[in-house]
Amino acid sequence: MHTLTDSTLLKNQSFLDGRFVGTASIDVTNPASGAVIGQVPAFGADEATQAVEAAAAALPGWSARTAKERSTILRNWFNLVMANRQDLATILTSEQGKPLAEALGEIDYAAAYIEFYAEEAKRIAGEMLPSHRTDARLLVLRQPIGVVAAITPWNFPAAMITRKIAPALAAGCTVVVKPALETPLTALALAELAHRAGLPAGTINVLTGDAQAIGGVFTSHPKVRLVGFTGSTAVGKILMAQAATTVKKVALELGGNAPFIVFDDADLDAAVEGAIVSKYRNMGQTCVCTNRFYVQASVHDAFVEKLLARVAELKVGDGFAEGVAQGPLITEDAVRKVEAHIVDATAKGATIRLGGQRHALGRTFFEPTVLTGARADMTLAGEETFGPLAAVFRFETEREAIEAANDTETGLAAYFYARDVGRIFRVMEGLEYGMVGINTGLISTELAPFGGVKESGNSREGSQHGILEFTELKYACLGGL
Ligand code: ADP
């Protein structure tokens, strides 16, 4: 582990009911070097039950606070995250691998959710509706849903947590989080800062350990009222089915298969810049990363040449090294998936134009890759590669591009580049996606509702919509007036 200004942010215990507890036993490794950088407890169903009960015990006190009191504590947490951003980013790059500049960007992005929901806590309002009787009044209250259990992935070890728990806490809920086993240290450092910020014992709990056992408690314990999950569609379906037995609300942010369409009226240089950020950010390991580039025939070759020139400039290496744009992939399995997609695509006629191999640095480093001649029958067309592989498809007409883009079970993010205003509206409205980037490859912000349609999920995170997920409506009819 690189040196931290505040080494007490590096935890080797889980955070349960206001205390760090448990025996460190599972190794956390740095994917760039394989070095063990920490250990965390292997908790299971018993500790998950204790954590849920601690959150349930803290719920009445926390939800009874005024919105302004909750807001002030969240604001303290935001300030502490920003004051410790360098250490948090160091922990994040050490366990996840992304370049340090990206890790700093993620910490700022993660903190922005805490800041935004500290403000939004004060704006959850009810309603008084026109009554159906003169002697009655109809009130609608928005109350916290209750205990929220969250399961988060390794690709954004900070932001996927704050995006769920900041709005939950702001709404008056208490939370239990199970971070990904690959990246628990950032989550535990955030818990330490939340504790310092004044969040009462039990309001936030962070548990490390057996995903299935902990997930089993989260989805079955009667005190949990909402299960929030970001991760694969396959696991999301399991959790949704499990949660059905106690009719919990589930808020799912699942996989994508983002198309990126370049029309013949696009600014090609801008499209290439958007392509780089949407494809190669986090080594292609985000659910909004472009998975399929569709380029109109008349600009296909020009776009590909420009893209190749830019991808060739991406420096691969340890995320702490100067100028590095691409770190290691998270695991050996992740590398194997990229390789399998390349083997399948080339067997079916695609051409590798750049990269295509494991990087000379070894381990899980992979060469940024571009291939052309991609077709709908290739595995990469139907499955997210989740790695640094840009696959370029060629198309002729606008209708063909929209149909190809929508030909997937998922619907998270889509991107396109065009200048014609009629086309912009037709394509924006025709894409079956929860989010559309038009002439930009970067759309995530705490100010907008992030989320997908179809098998990509059923909720929104960010903006005022994101906090309403954690509230429940109560209708009260006040009669006898
Ligand atoms: P990824 O491909 O991003 O690792 P996963 O869906 O496998 O996606 O993992 C996302 C999160 O879900 C992680 O925190 C992981 O530990 C957790 N997880 C995986 N399988 C289960 C399960 N059966 N029950 C509960 N959580 C799970």
At residue 340 the predicted structure's pLDDT band, cuts being 50, 70 and 90, is very high
pLDDT for residue 320: 98
Q: Is 181 exposed, middle or buried (0-12, 13-18, 19+ CB in 10 A)?
A: middle
Amino acid at 79: N
Rounded to the nearest angstrom, the distance between the alpha carbon of 181 and the centre of ligand 1 is: 9
Q: What is the mean pLDDT of residues 70-76?
A: 98
Q: What is the pLDDT of residues 201-242, one digit of tens each?
A: 999 999 999 999 999 999 999 999 999 999 999 999 999 999
pLDDT for residue 196: 98
Let me know how long the chain is. 481
Q: Whose CA is nearest to atom 4 of ligand 1?
A: 153
Q: Any catalytic annotation for residue 102? A: no
**238 CA closest ligand 1 atom index:** 23
Q: Which residues line ligand 1 (CB under 6 A)?
A: 151-153, 178, 180-181, 211-212, 215, 231-232, 235, 238
Q: Any catalytic annotation for residue 253? A: yes
- The angle subtended at Cα 387 by Cα 382 and Cα 390, nearest 5°, is 70
Rounded to the nearest angstrom, the distance between the alpha carbon of 178 and the centre of ligand 1 is: 10
Q: Which of 95, 151, 233 to mutate to test the pocket of ligand 1 (most atoms within 8 A of CB)?
A: 151
Rounded to the nearest angstrom, the distance between the alpha carbon of 237 and the centre of ligand 1 is: 11
Give this complex's ipTM. 0.97
Torsional class of 373: left (φ above 0), alpha (ψ -120 to 50), beta (otherwise): left
Q: What is the pLDDT of residues 289-327, one digit of tens each?
A: 999 999 999 999 999 999 999 999 999 999 999 999 999
**218 CA closest ligand 1 atom index:** 25
Rounded to the nearest angstrom, the distance between the alpha carbon of 402 and the centre of ligand 1 is: 32
Q: What is the pLDDT of residues 103-134, one digit of tens each?
A: 999 999 999 999 999 999 999 999 999 999 99
Q: What is the mean pLDDT of residues 451-459?
A: 98
At residue 447 the predicted structure's pLDDT band, cuts being 50, 70 and 90, is very high
- Of 115, 120, 253, 469, catalytic: 253
- Please name the residue that has the structure tokens 């100067």: 322
**180 CA closest ligand 1 atom index:** 14
Q: Which of 14, 96, 185, 235 to mutate to test the pocket of ligand 1 (most atoms within 8 A of CB)?
A: 235
Q: How many Å separate Cα 83 from the centre of its chain?
A: 23
Percent of the chain with pLDDT over 90: 100
Q: What is the dihedral of CA 78, 83, 86, 89, to 10 degrees?
A: -10
Percent of the chain with pLDDT over 70: 100
Model confidence at 1: pLDDT above 90: no
β-strand pairing of 137-144 with 127-129: antiparallel
Q: What is the mean pLDDT of residues 465-471?
A: 98
Q: Give the mean pLDDT of the chain.
A: 98
pLDDT for residue 410: 98
Rounded to the nearest angstrom, the distance between the alpha carbon of 321 and the centre of ligand 1 is: 30
Q: What is the mean pLDDT of residues 138-166?
A: 98
Q: What is the mean pLDDT of residues 9-26?
A: 98
